[in-house]
Chain A
Amino acid sequence: MAEISAIQNSGVRLGQADRLALNEADVAAKVMDGEAIIMNLANGYYYSLTGTGAFVLEWLVAGHSLAETAESLTRRYAVSEAAALADVESVATRLMDEGLVQTRGNVPVEAVATAWDRAAEAYEAPQLESFTDMAELLALDPPMPGLAQTPWQDPADDA
């Protein structure tokens, strides 16, 4: 694996041994057809993650380090180790900058949610596109996680 030093962007420093977790208090993500939608329910921003972005996101939030995620990219796509690691670090930093993920300790790696067993398509660098058109509405009606997280359900509704 190529050695690339830690990068810095907007105060976020990530090294290739860092591991990330989804900021689940505020963020929801869904991978679908090889792409992902990510929503920050706290500020109203939402994102599409294209190219190999969904693959990278799933490997990262499963507990793989940036380096391990880049290595997995090289196993599935025709991409050099250096290019893969640079792309992983770039998109991981964007995800950190946007508050969508946070660093975490060296926890056991979880299973990657998507099978990703199709033959790999041509390599495309991960791209994170942000949308802010809902943020103003959200600012007027801020979220209430106290309501969202309380499951007041009837036994009849559990049936």
Chain B
Amino acid sequence: MTPEQATLAPPDPHLAAGRRGAAQARRTFDDLAAAFELALGGDGSAAALTRYYTLAGRPVRVRVLGSRLAEALDRPFRHLRREPVDDDAVGLFIDMWDEAETGVTVPGIEAAPDLAVRGQVTASDDGRVLIHERAQTVAGFDRAQRRIAGWVGDARQLTLYEQGRPLHSALLLWHQDRRVQPVHAGLVSLDGQGILLGGQGGSGKSTTALACLKAGFQYQADDYVGVERTPDGYVGHSMYSSTHLEPHHLERFPWLSPYAIPGSLPGEDKSLVLLADAKPDGLSARTSIRALALPRVVDAEETRVRPASRLEALLRLAPSTLLQLPHACARPDGLARLGEMVETIPTFWLELGRDMERIPDRVARLLTEVTS
């Protein structure tokens, strides 16, 4: 199906509540795209810093105007960098500029401090264009063009969320459009064999993923993973190298403390750690998924593994995936996709004991058990 042949969805009454109405979404994207071209200057890309990354297995081209913004956008994706490709091989084009560095403005677009904690998402009536607004970012995503065009007020004032998960809503939706299911889960691997760590916030996903990273595993994610079904099985794609840790959580990982960026705004109660800075050789872009483990903290010394039923696995994985990120993830087939996955790969409880140092050994043994 070509984009032009796609079936248009009916207008969505939820969208009328957005600060930018659905009818304005398309115009907002066009304004952002035109302003970026203006910022480039009449002769093209001389001033833009262009980098290429691999997201969901597809090449992504990122052009940035403003050195501070280029650095900020690169950091959570640095482990996904790749060599340049021709435009016709690019799966997503991202064009962003920093108003503070370029002086290029767009009427009606300005910083929105009230969106520091929660952003605002608006979509056009036909579902083609998504506008995501945060405190210092307004980004438009044209799904048919596979292009994100975005403004940043001042890269020095990005919130921790904007630094750690830039362009999050647009990227989740782009994954969906590629039939790569965003899943609220962690993912770590050994020798290209990965274990997906599913569960709601506080279940132990980050603890497990970070303990494994320290112990020599490859880390793909501790919160969001793109999961794709391929002819060879399930593959998990890394999205960001960022992790967000509460103070008591950070205390458990003193090796990350030097890299922690504390919050400075109301509601920023977690510190941001960009793991590409802390352990650059421990990150990888993708891995096969050989098992799903459901961490949960138990009152025991040792970490134990026992089988989980497929329904238990789906009950832990699907709600936080499909309901926590609804604007991008709650499509009707999402539950079916996750159900197919838990029917395909073995599922386990990972009962986390008090001795965190022993978690990686147990995860490694589980990987051996499911791959031997």
Q: Mark B333-348, 1 if CB is under 8 A from A, else 0.
A: 1111011001100000
**Given A134-B323, A137-B324, A152-B3 contact (CB < 8 Å):** yes
Interchain residue pairs with CB less than 8 A apart (16): A28-B335, A33-B309, A37-B314, A37-B315, A44-B326, A141-B325, A142-B17, A145-B330, A147-B12, A148-B331, A150-B7, A150-B8, A153-B1, A153-B3, A155-B1, A157-B177
Is B15 a contact partner of A32 (Cβ separation < 8 A)? no
> Residue A107 at the B interface, CB < 8 A?
no
- The stretch among B42-50, B60-68, B122-130 that forms the contact with chain A is B122-130
Which of these, A144, A147, A153, contacts B6 with CB under 8 Å? Answer: A153
Q: Mark B73-117, 1 if CB is under 8 A from A, else 0.
A: 000000000000000000100000000000000000000000000
- Tell me how far the C-beta of B114 lies from the nearest C-beta in chain A, rounded to whole angstroms: 14
Is B330 a contact partner of A151 (Cβ separation < 8 A)? no
> Residue A39 at the B interface, CB < 8 A?
yes
Which of these, B128, B332, B343, contacts A152 with CB under 8 Å? Answer: B128
Is A32 a contact partner of B343 (Cβ separation < 8 A)? yes
> Residue B266 at the A interface, CB < 8 A?
no
Count of A residues near B, CB < 8 Å? 38
Interface of A toward B, CB cutoff 8 Å: 24, 28-30, 32-33, 35, 37, 39, 41, 44, 46, 48, 131, 133-135, 137-138, 140-158
Is A158 a contact partner of B1 (Cβ separation < 8 A)? yes
Interface residue tally of chain B, by bracket? 35 or more
- Tell me how far the C-beta of B319 lies from the nearest C-beta in chain A, rounded to whole angstroms: 5
**Given A151-B1, A153-B179, A32-B314 contact (CB < 8 Å):** yes
Q: Give the top 9 A-B pairs by smallest Cβ distance, nearest first.
A: A146-B12, A152-B143, A150-B127, A148-B331, A28-B335, A30-B339, A134-B323, A143-B326, A149-B9
**Alpha-carbon distance between A46 and B3 when the two chains are bound, in angstroms:** 33
Residues 270-292 of B contacting A (Cβ, < 8 Å): none
> Residue B135 at the A interface, CB < 8 A?
no
**Given A32-B342, A146-B125, A158-B1, A24-B332 contact (CB < 8 Å):** yes
Which of these, A35, A143, A158, contacts B330 with CB under 8 Å? Answer: A143
Is B322 a contact partner of A33 (Cβ separation < 8 A)? no
Which of these, B12, B17, B143, B200, contacts A145 with CB under 8 Å? Answer: B12
